[in-house]
């Protein structure tokens, strides 16, 4: 599982997050998503820790904490929902009128 870290400064780096979260345990991975068009940070990150206990400790200590001039939002990351649209199987429209007589 990973941790969602929101309301981040746009100046934050992976190193900043790694250093901060390392105080609560081993940091396995840090992801800082960027905007596809501008390349700018999106203001949130995902952090994976070595164990659930380490994640829980980091969440308890850092949620609501003031960091880099902002109040952090830290919680368990939720599975990504697919918002791209394109709902279920389409089906066929039209087709022959096979054998109709008027």
Distances, alpha carbon 90 to alpha carbons 15, 87, 93, in Å: 47, 8, 9
Q: Taking the domains of the chain in order of start, what are their residue ranges?
A: 3-75
Report field, pTM of the whole predicted structure over 0.85: no
Q: Which fold has domain 3-75?
A: Alpha-Beta Plaits (3.30.70)
pLDDT (tens place) for every residue of the chain, 102 residues total:
799 999 999 999 999 999 999 999 999 999 999 999 999 999 999 999 999 999 999 999 999 999 999 999 999 998 877 666 555 555 444 445 555 554
Residues 62, 74: contact at Cβ < 8 Å? Answer: yes
């Amino acid at each position: 599982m990973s941790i969602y870290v929101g309301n981040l400064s746009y100046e934050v780096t992976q190193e900043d997050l790694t250093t901060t979260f390392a105080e609560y345990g081993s940091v396995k991975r840090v992801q800082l998503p960027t905007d596809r068009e501008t390349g700018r940070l999106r203001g949130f990150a995902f952090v994976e820790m070595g164990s659930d206990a380490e994640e829980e400790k980091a969440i308890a200590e850092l949620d609501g904490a003031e960091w880099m001039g902002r109040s952090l939002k830290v919680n368990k990351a939720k599975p990504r929902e697919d918002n791209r649209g394109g709902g279920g199987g389409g089906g066929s429209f039209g087709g022959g009128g096979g054998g109709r007589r008027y």
